[in-house]
Chains A and B, each alone.
Chain A
Amino acid sequence: MTSFVESQERRDLRAAVFQLGSRYGESYFYSAAARGAKTTELWGEAAKAGYLGVSIPEEYGGGGGDIGDLAAVVEELATAGCPLLLLVVSPAIVGTIIARSGTDEQRRRWLPGLATGEARYAFGITEPDAGSNSHQIITRARRDGDDWILNGRKTYISGVDEAGHVLVVGRTEDARTGKLKPALFMVPTGAAGFEYQPIETGLVSPEKQFSLFFDDVRLPADALVGREDAGLDQLFAGLNPERIMAASQATGTARWALRKAVDYAGQRKVWDTPIGAHQAIAHPLAQIHVEVEAARLLTQKAAALDAAGDLLAAGEAANMAKYAAAEAACKAVDQAIQTHGGNGLATEYGLVQALANVRLSRIAPVSREMALNFIAQFSLKLPRSY
């Protein structure tokens, strides 16, 4: 994006993805969630059209686009009522980290599956005792001959039951100096000593959350992605896309909720005019529209900076975008429910199911508070408290 309007190709991509997503819609998404089913059909069709691999380099079978293209895909699917959480994780975080930091051999091994959408990889960073403070990560790997032995725990990891591997953020054992030296490992979900258990949540989604337990999990030498001492750069390569994608999923969900509210307000009559004519209904929706568009613009800016390789500036914009998008999404779903009155709480209208999902966007992948801490310290140069 070199202007305030996305390229024609990006807009065409949006239109095509939205058309596909609309054939499924929220009824498909939430009925799959209610049945305990997955979004296999939608994932398959989107993969076939190449939408899931847009950001994977062409030489590995991907579309050769950037994170902005993938963000457009996740946003349009969410706008159609299908917020696919695994897109944030699998092609965006794992795909970007491997594409940017992996060895040639690792790229050849892991990226083609992401390009076709056939492979799905989860990403494990959060730990019970190291939530937002990733410096406290204790999952560790030690050498045993050429192999690695992994021990530790992870929590609130998405989609592990659907993934072939989890990209696990750990530390190498001799680097336990307190300073974060992340080392990233591709761990097969079927590995001996690796167990995962679902976490019961109030989220209505086909994609589930898991606790992970690693008990002397033996990994081959090449399970380590990139370099052992790659430091924060390798991790940050994946975190900008994560935030851009989370922001896009939130703005998509906000647009979806806003559209439902507008459609309802335009038709529902209590007295003589549709309720959308009343300013008490119209103004909050107009205000949310402004906030959603502002969040989208910030998100597109973050994506453009990331694609241009300015990761530091992209990080700042991505945090702001994620904050703004989550706030807009929470407001949009809340106001859409309010606009619907009692119907807003009926599962038939699909809005009440989205409540916890948009609430999640305020907490993950980085909490509102941590995003604001970052902006206070990085953008405003305020002193830090921790």
Chain B
Amino acid sequence: MNIVVLVKQVPDSGAERTLSADFSVDRASSSNVINEMDEYAIEEALKIKEAHGGEVTVLTVGPAGATDSIRKALSMGPDKAVHVQDDALHGSCAVATSKVLAAALRTLSPDLILSGAESTDGRVQVVPHMLAELLGVAALTGARKLTVDGSQLTVERQTDEGYEVVTAATPAIVSVWDTINEPRYPSFKGIMAAKKKPVQALTLGDLGISGDEVGFAGATSQVLEFNKRPARTGGAKVVDEGNGGEQLVSYLASEKFV
């Protein structure tokens, strides 16, 4: 099976994050890492390859510095990578990013596209759906479990209430949550091999996309202002006046912990 995993480089969600003066994600002042959810997508791709054979390609759209994340992704085990890099991409919205990813995916003709269900920087969760639309393939999103049987895909789709079982035939795109597996650590051999794996560089020109379709110029949405996240407030206090247990359970239920 020809699998492509979408890997995005994001600012480390564990560190202080902010926006640049132009309201794009500030990538300069924090350390950048693989979007955490994408590591689960890589793991799932590697497991499918190990069980069914095939090839795993990492696809990244991002600036030059994203090569660090591509190398890290390759050290986990994928076979090769494609890096779409172009200065005109700076400031791209989800629609434009999807257009670029779709163009790159057409050059790879994957049976299965895997991605994280969201990125920790943008968190809009729409790119997998947009790609499905642009490529004319099925979208199985928010998976907590994926089963491959020949060309048949079965997904347990995580929802607030429980899960739905959805199926589709390849080619398809599946986005995954962090409940789907436990990503492996890059092995020593994987680390040593990563630098030797092929990374194909593509520009917008290579994909037949003009600069004004992407970046700030082609953005369908515009950030006008932003505010810092409000400081944490004290949580709910439960005072036990005989019904403390009930209050506690109803709080946990309202937060969907029980």
Contacts and interface: CB of A to CB of B under 8 A. Distances in A.
Contacts of B186: 12, 16, 49
Interface in A11-35: 12-13, 15-16, 19-20
Interface residues of B, number: 13
A214 interface: no
A49 B195 contact: no
Nearest to B75: A12
B191 A45 contact: no
B198 to A, nearest CB: 17
Contacts of A54: 188
Nearest to A19: B185
B185 A13 contact: no
B194 interface: yes
A49 B184 contact: yes
Interface string B170-190: 000000000000001111110
Contacts of B191: 9, 12-13, 16
B7 to A, nearest CB: 16
A65 interface: yes
B66 to A, nearest CB: 15
Interface in B50-85: 71-72, 75
B187 to A, nearest CB: 4
Given A9-B195, A12-B194, A50 B189 contact: yes
A148 interface: no
B192 interface: yes
B188 A50 contact: yes
Interface in B188-204: 188-189, 191-192, 194-195
A49 B187 contact: yes
A334 interface: no
22 contacts: A9-B192, A9-B194, A9-B195, A12-B191, A12-B194, A13-B188, A13-B191, A15-B72, A16-B75, A16-B186, A20-B185, A45-B185, A49-B184, A49-B185, A49-B186, A50-B188, A50-B189, A51-B187, A51-B188, A54-B188, A65-B188, A69-B188
